[in-house]
Amino acid sequence: MFKLEPRPEASRFWSIASPLLALVITVLLGTLLFVALGKDPVRGLQVFFWEPINSAYRLGELMVKATPLLIIALGLAVCFRSNVWNIGAEGQFVIGAVVAGGVALLAGKDTSRLIVLAILLAGVVGGMAWAGLTALLRDKFNANEILVSLMLVYVATLTLNYMVFGPWKDPQGYNFPQTKTFEAVTQIPRLMQGSRVNIGVLLALAGVAGLWVFLFRTRAGFAQQVGGLAPAAARYAGFSSRKALWTALLVSGGAAGLAGALEVAGPIGQLTPYVPAGYGFAAIIVAFVGRLHPVGMVFSAILMSMFYIGGELAQSRLGLPKSLTGVFQGLLLFTLLACDTLMAYRIRFLPSTPTQA
């Protein structure tokens, strides 16, 4: 018999090293998984961790995948540090993509290049509006934001499907459920020729700097975090928990909506039923592996995008299902939770007591 006993103080070293240990354990478990599937584990790990970075083009694709993950995770970090549990960033991502796509469909041959700004702004507004529904129900009716935000993901996906199967369906698309391809003028500007990397990377890095300043150098960021850690102290200090709720969800929703706009007006170039790529859920892992710190989330977003690309390569090179990406993401999350638990608690073994006859 054993029990978990709280440690007097969590180790500062392990608070940083815990994600690295979780990654090592994930790699070891992944090795066993490849062996169980009858695949060469060395080749499997090479596909996941080396091939996504062994050329300039693949590094570019890594950035394409990492950009929406990082942007969404930055918004989620504001929520989680405020003790607001937004689990519906995927829905906010989808609605941001839908609203941005609607603006992109208005473009014609003679439309100004400035429509790109309108597309990005539309994505932000769409994501904020969708997250605002969760904030409203939590604020006015004390509804659980976890359940509300999660259920709204399915509503968002159904909304997207309605539009691409119905009013926005391309009449010349051979009956495929998709909109027409957006005009070239709506394309998010790319940073270099021969690569799909666009200005979303710069926006993500600007978001990293902005979030760092907000969280650690402003009174508003301090108030946001105090409200999450100690609500009673926040009320005593005059900080509004209601304002913190709305700020957290609107920032998070706006970030997810921006990621959706960058995705549909960037790599995808049209609305399809496959816009929901799971980025909103994967970004939760990115946020926690990055310790809810802006700089830490840069590295965890790159790692998570390696899992995405590695899963695609494993499908084509090794004949493994693409769902292997989700397996690696899940392993990383659960090993991180286990490491964090042992960081906060120690295992105390109890002497066995003899049973009475």
Domain range spanning residue 186? Answer: 63-347
Asked if residue 56 is part of any domain, the answer here is no
Judge contact between 168 and 271, C-beta under 8 A.
yes
Asked if residue 281 is part of any domain, the answer here is yes
Going by pLDDT thresholds of 50, 70 and 90, the confidence category of residue 289 is: very high
User: By three-state DSSP, how is residue 4 classified?
Assistant: strand
Asked if residue 342 is part of any domain, the answer here is yes
Asked if residue 97 is part of any domain, the answer here is yes
What does the pLDDT look like over 79-99, one tens digit per residue?
Answer: 999 999 999 999 999 999 999
Percent of the chain at pLDDT above 90?
72
> What does the pLDDT read at residue 75?
98
Q: Per the structure, how many domains does the chain have?
A: 1
Asked if residue 35 is part of any domain, the answer here is no
> What does the pLDDT read at residue 356?
59
> What does the pLDDT read at residue 300?
96
Q: Residue 353 pLDDT more than 70?
A: no
Q: Is the alpha carbon torsion for 163, 188, 131, 133 positive or negative?
A: negative
> What does the pLDDT read at residue 227?
78
Asked if residue 179 is part of any domain, the answer here is yes
Least Cα distance to 148 among 204, 87, 231 occurs for 87
CATH of the domain at 268: 1.10.3470
CA distances from 106 to 78, 148, 155 (A): 33, 32, 24
**Residue whose entry in the numeric block shows the structure tokens 């006015």:** 140
Going by pLDDT thresholds of 50, 70 and 90, the confidence category of residue 355 is: low
Q: Residue 301 pLDDT more than 90?
A: yes
Q: Residue 71 pLDDT more than 90?
A: yes
Asked if residue 206 is part of any domain, the answer here is yes
CA distances from 273 to 97, 165, 176, 218, 270 (A): 11, 9, 10, 41, 10
DSSP state of 3: E
CA distances from 289 to 127, 206, 296 (A): 24, 20, 8
What does the pLDDT look like over 308-340, one tens digit per residue?
Answer: 998 888 888 889 888 888 899 999 999 999 998
Cα 252 to Cα 266: distance, rounded to the nearest angstrom? 21
Cα 357 to Cα 343: distance, rounded to the nearest angstrom? 40
CB within 8 Å of 129: residues ≥ 6 apart: 95, 253
> What does the pLDDT read at residue 4?
83
Strands (E), the chain: 2-6, 345-349
Bigger pLDDT: 260 vs 235: 260
State the CB neighbour count (10 A cutoff) for residue 285. Answer: 21
What does the pLDDT look like over 18-54, one tens digit per residue?
Answer: 999 999 999 999 999 999 999 999 999 998 889 989 8
